Structures are given as C-alpha cells and as structure tokens.
Amino acid sequence: MRCVKVNLGFSTADAESLRMEFDGSDLTVMCVDWQEKPVRTIFREVIAYRWGSDLGAEEIRDNETYRIEESPWLVREAQLAGVSPGSYVHYKLCFNSCGVVDVAFRKQDA
C-alpha cells in the first residue's frame, strides 16, 4: 500500500460541519473549510465508503487527502461488488479534527 497526496481543491485541515450524502451511486462530501467557506465534492459511482474517528493505529491521521495505491480495502470491496478493482480508485480524506473518510469510486477518464 502506498499513499500519494492529492489536491481536491480544498483543505481538510480544521474543517467543520462535515456531512455526507450517499444516493446509492454517488457520495457527496460537504464541510466548511478553515476559511469558513462551504465545500462540496462528489465522488461518482462509489462501490464503498467508510467513516471513522479511529480506523486503526496503522491509518494515516493528518490533514491531507491521499490516493491509496495497492489498497487491500479497495480490492476487497471490488470483489464484494463484483467489479474489477483496476477500474476504481481509493481516496482517503483525513479531517484531522473529526475523522477519516475512505471512498472507493470509479476512475474518471482522462
């Protein structure tokens, strides 16, 4: 497993009022950033997501967002969903003040 920092256009540092909405396919993550600006990002064709304040001692816990390469969690969730893990990506959003969001969603064509 390898963690690569990614920029989603907002900072997870000191974010507040974190909310998530899942419609069965897309996950919308909303919060108020450190500049008190509302943030909304949508992950399309989600096969799994999880939220926790303590997902294990080995987990990253800072204020960055990462793409997790060679993710065992993504492989397991893809198998459960009956899809190819190569078509999906695992992102980890670390909200240092309130928890971690993991999301596995379909890669977007470049």
The per-residue pLDDT for range 8-23, each reduced to its tens digit, is: 999 998 889 999 999 9
Q: How far is CA 1 from CA 56, 84, 87, in A?
A: 15, 18, 17
Please give the pLDDT value at position 81: 96
- At 110 the pLDDT is 43
The structural domain count of the chain equals: 1
Q: Would you tell me how many other CB atoms lie within 10 Å of the CB of residue 64? A: 16
∠88-96-41 over CA atoms, to 5°?
A: 45
Task: Return d(Cα 16, Cα 34) in angstroms, integer.
Answer: 8
Token output for 84: 């190819």
Cα gap 22→26, rounded to integer Å: 6
* Amino acid 50: pLDDT: 95
Residue carrying structure tokens 């003040």: 97
Sites in the chain below the pLDDT cut of 70: 53-61, 109-110
Measured CA to CA, the distance from residue 24 to residue 95 in angstroms comes to: 24
**pLDDT of res. 63:** 87
Q: What is the mean pLDDT of the chain?
A: 90
Per-residue pLDDT at 54: 57
Both tokens of 4, joined, read 């690569």
Range of the domain at 67: 2-106
